[in-house]
Amino acid sequence: MFCYQCEQTYRSETASGCASTKGMCGKDATTSDLQDLLIHGAKGIAQYAKRARALNAPDNEAGGFILYALFTTLTNVNFNATRFTVLLQQTASIRDRVKARYEAAALAAGKVPESLTGPAAWQPAADMEGLLGQAAEVGINAGLEQVGPDIIGLRSLVLYGLKGVCAYAHHAHVLGKESEAVYAGIEDALDFLSSEPTDADALLNQSLALGFLNLSVMELLDAANTGTFGAQQPTQVRVTPIPGKAILVSGHDLGDLAALLEQTRDTGINIYTHGEMLPAHAYPKLKAYPHLAGNYGGAWQDQQKDFADFPGPILMTSNCIIEPQPQYRQRIFTAGPVGWPGVRHISDKNFAPLIQAARALPGFKETAETEKTITIGFGRDAVLGVADQVIDAVKSGAIRHFFLIGGCDGAAPGRNYYTEFAEKAPMDTVVLTLGCNKYRFNQHDFGDIGGIPRLLDMGQCNDTYSAIKVAVALAEAFDCDVNDLPLSLVVSWFEQKAAAVLLTLLALGIRNIRLGPTLPAFLTPNLVQALVDRYGLQPITTAQADIDAALAPKAA
């Protein structure tokens, strides 16, 4: 295996990347290699799909499959080699269907169909040894000796950004939202990668194209979420449990949560959110369910303790799953793109086994613990609803600056930076949060500025579109560029969704983003320098130094 797609990848003074029998995330070499081969197969689908689409013979079902397939390869999503073996067979079958569609469309248009090579011509080997042999030829660092690390790094930037785009598009897709333009953009990017590009400018341009594509995907997802469940509203969420039977839902898939809430209606079973599912409480149509009881536990990296302590079954709807411990291995279920060997998978939203498990497990007992709540739900509508108040506060000097702390959490000690940053932010500044890196500090009391809470949670990383809209609206109100707003972006990244969001921010021309806790291993020193020169991208230093730098008067 060779994988360096996430922040926790193995790093030493001489080498970066997980290249042994098991990655830092727990993914074994077989699964990692099969994931590489799946991406290769998806490129093959895209080569034909792009050409079919150009002939007005699109195959959106194949597009949906690509979203799902690439999502399964994100960090901490699917560790099940069996599932990948099956997906590879499906990939070849879908590729053949799209190929036939393309060739028929070409002939109908009086054209000679192209004879495609590379991934388009791949045929899955008959056995595991054969598949692994094929995988060894198509990993992310294939061709390193010929093209050098900068080109491999740029291909990685494109591929990992694309994985994030596909994950977000999949979230929208399962709520019934899809877009021809999005499928076309994804097919273009995969087709581009299948050509084994070596032009650095072309690769950078493709990265930015993906950034823009991701913006439209985030808009699609925003429409899917708010269209299905209403706009997020400021909401008090209970973070202490209620006595009774309980189910915990983690991940990002609001559709799975909604289906489970419906199936557990009037059963007496309480549903708790975990990790990135927290913002669900702010959606009117979800919080209308009285048994959506509260939020439980911390961020994803705490799940082995949180899940072991939880007295009911657990549903993992998307990233991030880490190795289920024996204490809860029998009562964790996966759904959607998620998988773990030996863990029950529910693929049809029939959560009856989960409900049966909840009834058999003890649930929460009576406790003397005092009820605690946190406030969430400051999505676009909520923040813009008080835009006048916010603008007045900025103009009067009551609010000096905004810090958007967004992105993923992780286990690395360096991630304390983000907690420290939030806590040290001066009292005349507002902290906006987005993603799962807020769990280290979102139960602290940050107070308010003239009634405006100092900590405003804008939701999942999936809600980035909302944050961008707020920034753009504020820039319009102040008649300035987003880069001229009293706003600093402090981003923690972990996996490929964050890579996609970063590309979007760069594509929009957002400058001076602080990125940490470490820079991606796939970005070579030359590529980092290029991003610094072009976008002012900066690694984090210390919380205090970065706050001081953000608040320092800008040079004329």
Partner 1 sequence: MSTHTIELTTRDGELLRFDCDADQSLLEAAADAHIVLPSQCRQGSCGACYADATRGDYILGEHNPAALPAGAAEKGGILLCRTFPLSDLSVSLPFDHDRILLGEIRRRNADIAAIEPVGENTVRLTLHLAPDDGGSVAEFEPGQFVELEVPGQAIRRAYSLANTGNWEGRLEFLIRLQPGGLFSTWLREQAHAGQTLIVHGPQGAFGLSENGLRPRWFVAGGTGLAPMLSMLRRMAEFQEPHPVRLYFGVNRVEELFCLTELEALKAELPQLQVILCVWKPNQDWQGFCGTPADALAQDLDDLNARPDIYLCGPPALIDAAEAAARSQGVPVEQVFSERFLPA
289 to 348, contacts with partner 1 by CB under 8 A? 311, 323-327, 329-331, 341-342, 344-345
CA 202 → CA 10, 30, 174, 195, 196, distances in Å?
29, 32, 32, 12, 11
Out of 100, 107, 181, 360, the only residue in the binding site for partner 1 (CB under 8 A) is 360
Out of 18, 24, 25, 34, the only residue in the binding site for partner 1 (CB under 8 A) is 34
Q: Tell me if 419 contacts partner 1 by CB under 8 A.
A: no
Phi first, then psi, for residue 529 (nearest 5°) are: -60, -40
Q: Tell me if 30 contacts partner 1 by CB under 8 A.
A: yes
Q: Tell me if 21 contacts partner 1 by CB under 8 A.
A: yes
Q: Tell me if 127 contacts partner 1 by CB under 8 A.
A: yes
Amino acid type, 34: L
Q: Closest distance between partner 1 and the C-beta of residue 358, in Å?
A: 9
Torsion of Cα atoms, 344 then 350 then 353 then 359, to 10°: 140
**305: three-class secondary structure by DSSP:** helix
Q: Tell me if 81 contacts partner 1 by CB under 8 A.
A: yes
Report yes or no: 127 and 34 within 8 Å, Cβ to Cβ.
Answer: no
Q: Tell me if 80 contacts partner 1 by CB under 8 A.
A: yes
Out of 11, 16, 28, 97, the only residue in the binding site for partner 1 (CB under 8 A) is 28
Nearer of residues 274 and 331 to partner 1, judged by Cβ: 331
Q: Closest distance between partner 1 and the C-beta of residue 408, in Å?
A: 24
- Joined together, the tokens standing for residue 256 give 């799975």
CA 488 → CA 183, 259, 430, 549, distances in Å?
33, 38, 11, 10
> Nearest-CA neighbor of 244 among 193, 294, 181?
294
Q: Tell me if 40 contacts partner 1 by CB under 8 A.
A: no
Out of 117, 123, 350, 356, the only residue in the binding site for partner 1 (CB under 8 A) is 356
Nearer of residues 98 and 316 to partner 1, judged by Cβ: 316
List all residues 6 or more positions away from 161 whose beta carbon is below 8 Å from its beta carbon: 207, 210, 211, 214, 496, 499, 500, 502, 503
Angle, helix 496-507 to helix 144-174, in steps of 10 degrees: 90
Q: Tokens 């940490």 identify what position?
A: 516
Site stretch for partner 1 (CB under 8 A), options 81-89, 207-215, 468-476, 527-535? 81-89
Q: How far apart are CA 497 and CA 171, in angstroms?
A: 12
Amino acid type, 258: A
Q: Tell me if 134 contacts partner 1 by CB under 8 A.
A: no
Site stretch for partner 1 (CB under 8 A), options 16-24, 39-47, 390-398, 443-451? 16-24
DSSP bridge partners of 28: 22
Q: Tell me if 238 contacts partner 1 by CB under 8 A.
A: no
Q: How many CB atoms lie within 10 A of CB 109?
A: 12
Write out the DSSP string of 224-256. Answer: HHHHHH-----EEEE-S--SB-EEEEESS-HHH
Site stretch for partner 1 (CB under 8 A), options 55-63, 78-86, 217-225, 426-434? 78-86
Q: Closest distance between partner 1 and the C-beta of residue 19, in Å?
A: 13
Report yes or no: 354 and 346 within 8 Å, Cβ to Cβ.
Answer: yes
Nearer of residues 236 and 327 to partner 1, judged by Cβ: 327
Amino acid type, 553: P
Q: Closest distance between partner 1 and the C-beta of residue 85, in Å?
A: 4
Q: Tell me if 85 contacts partner 1 by CB under 8 A.
A: yes
Nearer of residues 326 and 413 to partner 1, judged by Cβ: 326
Nearer of residues 239 and 361 to partner 1, judged by Cβ: 361
Site stretch for partner 1 (CB under 8 A), options 59-67, 172-180, 353-361, 374-382? 353-361
Which residues of this protein are in contact with partner 1, per CB under 8 A?
20-22, 28, 30, 34, 80-82, 84-86, 127-128, 131, 311, 323-327, 329-331, 341-342, 344-345, 353, 356-357, 359-362
